[in-house]
């Protein structure tokens, strides 16, 4: 996979690959291994140890209608170390404003390890900055299924959901963030925003 997807093909290619990767079965769970996590997610907060699937909050799992691509699946090589390295490279590229290249590296990272929750979260951040909000939501939700106790992902998800006009789910995401990170500096402000969204459920995308 090239490091840069190019502006002309970025949106459709990213959307297709996000759908395919979300639909593929979990590598770590299938192999009976713990989920590997890059130590420095783009959001800036280290994720805790992975929780069992039974601990994923009710209603957070997104079901995708697209099945695995039989042409893509054999090409996937499970390499958590390479995935973490590519994820780190993507963070640097994103911080430099090279979003297409960052997205390409993140897709490579996820091909190496589909259970890299940090890479899914970072892909959501990059996609949102590229204006692909729906795919960003899908990426965040995948990260949540892998790391349901990683608070920053819920806040990232809330921003994307509110941009889509889904204030109810955005408020739910913000409250989950505040519950998981009650001592965070912005916990009170996040709770106030959740309350405002709950009291003002109308309105479309911003």
Q: Is pLDDT larger for residue 25 or for residue 71? A: 25
Tell me if 20 sits within 8 A of 105, measured CB to CB.
Answer: no
Whole-angstrom CA distances from 25 to 64, 104, 139, 161 are 12, 21, 15, 25
CATH number at residue 80: 1.25.40.10
Q: Is position 19 within any domain?
A: yes
Alpha-carbon span 121 to 159, nearest angstrom: 13
Q: Give the residue from 129, 93, 122 showing the smallest Cα distance to 107.
A: 122
Tell me if 113 is assigned to some domain.
yes
Whether the CB-CB separation of 143 and 149 falls below 8 Å is answered with no
Residue 192 lies in a domain: no
Asked if residue 94 belongs to a domain, the reply is yes
Mean pLDDT computed over 135-159: 96
Q: What is the pLDDT of residue 47?
A: 36
In a domain? residue 171? no
Q: Does 137 fall in a domain?
A: yes
pLDDT per residue as tens digits for the range 35-60: 233 333 344 333 334 444 445 455 44
Rounded to the nearest integer, the mean pLDDT of the chain is 75
Full-prediction pTM beyond 0.95? no
Residue 50 lies in a domain: yes
Q: For 158-178, how does the pLDDT look when each residue is reduced to its tens digit (9 = 90+)?
A: 999 999 999 999 999 999 999
Range of weakest confidence among 60-74, 156-170, 179-193: 60-74
**Closest C-alpha among 150, 87, 156, 137 to residue 116:** 87
Checking if the pLDDT of 94 tops 80, the result is yes
Instruction: Give the closest residue to 47 by CA, choosing from 59, 58, 34.
Output: 34
Per the domain annotation, does 157 fall within a domain?
no
Q: What is the distance between the alpha carbons of residues 14 and 101, in angstroms, rounded to a whole number?
A: 12
Domain count, the chain: 1
- Domain span at residue 100 reads 10-150
- Top pLDDT among 49 and 183 is at 183
* Per-residue tokens: 180: 């998981």
- For the chain, how many helices (H) and strands (E)? 9, 0
Find out whether 172 and 193 touch, Cβ atoms under 8 Å. Answer: no
């Amino acid at each position: 996979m090239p490091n840069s997807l190019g502006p002309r093909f970025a949106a459709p290619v990213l959307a297709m690959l996000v759908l395919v990767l979300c639909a593929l079965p979990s590598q770590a769970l299938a192999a009976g291994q713990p989920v590997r996590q890059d130590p420095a997610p783009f959001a800036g907060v280290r994720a805790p140890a992975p929780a069992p699937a039974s601990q994923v909050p009710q209603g957070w799992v997104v079901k995708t209608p697209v099945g695995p691509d039989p042409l893509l699946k054999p090409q996937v090589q499970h390499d958590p170390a390479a995935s973490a390295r590519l994820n780190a490279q993507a963070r640097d590229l994103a911080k430099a404003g090279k979003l297409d290249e960052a997205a390409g590296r993140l897709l490579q990272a996820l091909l190496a390890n589909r259970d890299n929750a940090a890479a899914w979260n970072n892909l959501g951040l990059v996609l949102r900055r590229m204006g692909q909000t729906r795919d960003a939501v899908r990426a965040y939700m995948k990260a949540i299924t892998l790391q349901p106790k990683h608070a920053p992902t819920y806040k990232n998800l809330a921003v994307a959901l509110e941009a889509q006009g889904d204030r109810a789910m955005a408020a739910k995401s913000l409250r989950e963030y505040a519950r998981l990170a009650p001592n965070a500096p912005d916990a009170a402000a996040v709770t106030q925003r959740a309350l405002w969204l709950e009291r003002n459920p109308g309105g479309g995308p911003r």
